[in-house]
Amino acid sequence: MKKIQILGTGCPKCKKLAENAEIAAKELGIEYQIEKITQINDIMKMGVMMTPALAVDGVVKVVGKVVSPEDIRTMLV
């Protein structure tokens, strides 16, 4: 079970990143759970100040940009 966290205050880029992460996880066929972190203080707690960001199992993998589903796939395995 992978926990994917999308960090962002709700801007269009954050939504795009969440979509891409979902696509990647579905393609891999793994068990996953997506959590959106929108509270700015919670985002800070993870050390992120450039949104959108993506974390897998609590480890921040991407900061400040939208990445493609292919790129996210390599982060999930």
Q: Is 55 considered catalytic here?
A: no
Q: Is 11 considered catalytic here?
A: yes
Pairing between β-strand 32-37 and β-strand 2-7 as defined by DSSP bridges: parallel
| Residue 17 neighbours by CB under 8 Å, 6+ apart | 6, 8, 52, 54, 62, 66, 67
Nearer to another protein, 6 or 53 (CB): 53
Which residues here bind another protein, judged by CB under 8 A? Answer: 9, 11-13, 40-41, 43-51, 53, 60, 62-65
Selecting among 3, 10, 11, 74, the annotated active-site residue is: 11
Nearer to another protein, 15 or 30 (CB): 15
